[in-house]
Structure formats: C-alpha cells, structure tokens
Amino acid sequence: MALRQHLANSLSGLLGFPVTPFRRDDGELDLPRFEQHLAEMLKAGPSALFVACGTGEFPSLTVAEHHELVRTAVSHVSGQVPVFAGAGGGTRIAVEFVGSAERAGADGVLILPPYVQVGPPAGLVAHYREIVAVTGLPLIPYQRSTAVFTPEAVAELAALEQVVAFKDGHGDLELLQGIRTATGGELTLLNGMPTAETFAAAYAAAGARAYSSAVLAFAPAIARAFYDAFARGDDAVQQILLREFYVPLTELRHTTNGYAVALVKAGLEVQGRSAGPVRPPLADVTPEHRAELAALIERGHAALDGFGS
C-alpha cells in the first residue's frame, strides 16, 4: 500500500519517544524545555519521533495540551523525521485526540489501548474503523493490556489503507508470529515492549526489527550504540550493554509501578537536564532509586568508553 511504502524507512529503525516536560512550580507544560529535549533526541538520529505517547504521559494530558505538544514538535522537527502523536481512550475520546493531532500537523498517530474496558477483537476492529473514518492520517494500533488482538482481527485492520504498522507491547511471541503470518509479512511490526532493547533479538526473529526506545530520551548515546550493534549483528557489544545497563535498568523498573515513565524523567534530572516531575497517578523516583539509576547511567557510558563508542 502507498502509505506503508511511504513510511517504510521511518518505521524501520530506532524510534524515539520524548517525555512531556512539566514545570515544577505549577505543573504546567514547559514547551521551551520540550524543544530542547527534542533537539537532544534528534542528535541521536531516530527514524521517527512519537510525541505524547506512553513515555510522554498521554493519559495525563488534556486535548489542548496534546495539541500544543504536537504542534511544537512538528514545528521544531521541521520535517527532519516524521512526528507521530499518541491518541487513546474510548472511541469518541480517541477521535478527539486524533483530530487534535491532525490539526497540529502530525504525520501519523499511534493509537494507545482503550482504558479499563476490555472488548472482544470485533470491538477493537470497530474502534479502529471509527477512527479511520474521521482522519486521513496513517495509524498504528498498539497491542497491550486492554487491546489484545487475534491474528484475524489484525489482518482485517491491515486491509485498511491507513493502518501502516502494528506495535506490540503484549509480549506473546507466538501470537505475534500468528499476526505476521496472517498479514503475509506485509504489515510492519514494531517492538513496543518496556525496555525494548532487552527483547530486540527475540522480536527480530518474529519479524519486528524496529523498536521504541525510552532510553533514547535520557541516555541517547547508549541507545544509539545498542541499536547500531543490533543492526550490524554485533552480539558482543549488545551483551555488554545488556549486562552493564539494560538488564539492571529493567530490574529497577520492576520495583515500582509507573517507573517505565518516571525513570526516564529521573534519568534526565540526574544528568542536569530536568524535564520536571511526572503527573499523578505516577510518582517521582525515590532518592534511593535515583542514586541507583545515576550509577547505572555511569556504568552504561563507561561501557561505551570501553569499546570506543
């Protein structure tokens, strides 16, 4: 399909997921800091940026804030890479956010799972069909938590021109292989697992080589080095970074609900590039875990120095 071919390169590499900076004094958006954050990430060469998604605290944003974030990102990035926006919630709410993204100039939308309600595959397909009906933007369904599809349901979605890829954060590789088979391998599959680098090899075997990297938002040199090693098949470098940084980071993430996002902002703060606090119901990282994270980042960068990256 034409849209898929057009976006093939931007959905085939390292995908960046910026945080949403909030001012510490009043909790409002910090757009100047957001532009700085985008500039920092762009230096690492992501193939696309996904704004106001999970790492960007989409569930905590109003439609007006969402529009400002996407508008700012589109203006700042200025065509260097595609900008995808997050959208989610119930169908009517998701439609509002998709409209916000389209008006702000986004290149596409990642549709996050509906909240609380768990529908059957037919309900999920209907959810996407209603969204497709109101926008011309390319769409990426995101499988996790309350949105788990059957291969047949994904094949039905893949027949829609605007569905250009499928992101998986569910972690069932047997199901993912079934989806790949049902879609004839023609739908781009994205690894969307938390700390996706730890799943990179397994997902690549199932046909999903591109992945979303939260680490790119706070330790771009480490994220870039790992992806480059992954892309060239350098297992030795991957194993060093997994041992020294990624696996311990995953263990730290597992200690506290919400750390998949909070650790990213803490990682920026401990390096002097604060993006402010997270919004409730998330909570900022404890001082003890912040110190552990700082040590991990040092270990990760020391590993880079060890093999000349």
- pLDDT per residue as tens digits for the range 19-60: 999 999 999 999 999 999 999 999 999 999 999 999 999 999
Task: Give ∠ CA 45-49-53 in degrees, rounded to 5.
Answer: 145
Q: What is the model's pLDDT at position 155?
A: 97
* CA proximity to 107, closest of 83, 139, 133: 83
Q: What is the model's pLDDT at position 1?
A: 60
The Cα 254–Cα 261 span in angstroms is: 12
Q: Say if residues 190 and 236 touch (Cβ distance below 8 Å).
A: no
Backbone angles phi, psi at 112, to 5 degrees: -75, 155
142 is catalytic: yes
What pTM did the predictor assign?
Answer: 0.96
Can the peptide bond before residue 248 be classed as cis, meaning omega within 30 degrees of 0?
A: no
pLDDT tens sequence across 117-144 = 777 889 989 999 999 999 999 999 999 9
Q: What is the model's pLDDT at position 120?
A: 86
Q: At what angle do helices 287-306 and 259-270 cross, to 10 degrees?
A: 70
**CB-based contacts of 266, cutoff 8 Å, min separation 6:** 284, 285, 289, 290, 293
2-230: which CATH topology? TIM Barrel (3.20.20)
Q: Report residues of the chain scoring pLDDT below 70.
A: 1-3, 8, 116, 308-309
* CA proximity to 83, closest of 110, 49, 39: 49
Active-site choice (128, 142, 203, 259): 142
Active-site choice (43, 115, 128, 167): 167
DSSP state of 172: -
115 is catalytic: no
- Report CA 246 to chain centroid distance, whole Å: 17
* SS3 sequence of 193-257: CCCHHHHHHHHHHCCCCEEEECHHHCCHHHHHHHHHHHHHCCHHHHHHHHHHHHHHHHHHHCCCC
DSSP state of 281: T
Element housing 189 (H / E) = strand 188-191
The Cα 57–Cα 278 span in angstroms is: 8
Helix ranges (H only) for the chain are 2-7, 31-42, 63-77, 91-103, 121-132, 151-158, 173-182, 200-205, 220-232, 235-241, 247-253, 259-270, 287-306
**CB-based contacts of 70, cutoff 8 Å, min separation 6:** 51, 52, 83, 85, 100, 101, 104, 105, 106
The Cα 167–Cα 144 span in angstroms is: 9
Q: What is the model's pLDDT at position 306?
A: 85
The Cα 123–Cα 125 span in angstroms is: 5
Partners of residue 167 on adjacent β-strands: 142, 190
